[in-house]
Amino acid sequence: MFYVIFNVAIALVLMEAGLVSTIQTGITLYGVLACAWIGAIVEDVTICNPVTTPRPCAGILRYQRKGVSAEEIRAVKVGAVTRAFCD
């Protein structure tokens, strides 16, 4: 019961201080970037992979690398710019 009251008190303090809209904006931006990143991965697997000569386990090997491709960076930038112009 203590944790319920504690969480409600924290929520009320955040709402009264006006931080809820700031937190909501940050979470919305993070959601847009995450969707853009997943879109880049889906595009890479569904469009780019079948066009090139497929290697065995190419999809698994592609995501075990530690680097980030330029296409993924571009897709995230496009998602962020789209989000900025939609508001």
Residues 6+ apart with CB under 8 A from 76: 33, 36, 37, 40
- What pLDDT was estimated at residue 20? 80
- What pLDDT was estimated at residue 14? 85
In a domain, 49, yes or no: yes
Mean pLDDT of 9-30: 84
- What pLDDT was estimated at residue 75? 74
- What pLDDT was estimated at residue 35? 80
Mean per-residue pLDDT of the chain: 74
Query: How many domains in the chain?
Result: 1
In a domain, 10, yes or no: no
Q: Which domain covers residue 54, as residue numbers?
A: 24-86
Q: By the 8 A CB rule, do 76 and 37 touch?
A: yes
pLDDT in tens, 31-61: 877 887 787 777 777 776 555 555 555 555 5
In a domain, 2, yes or no: no
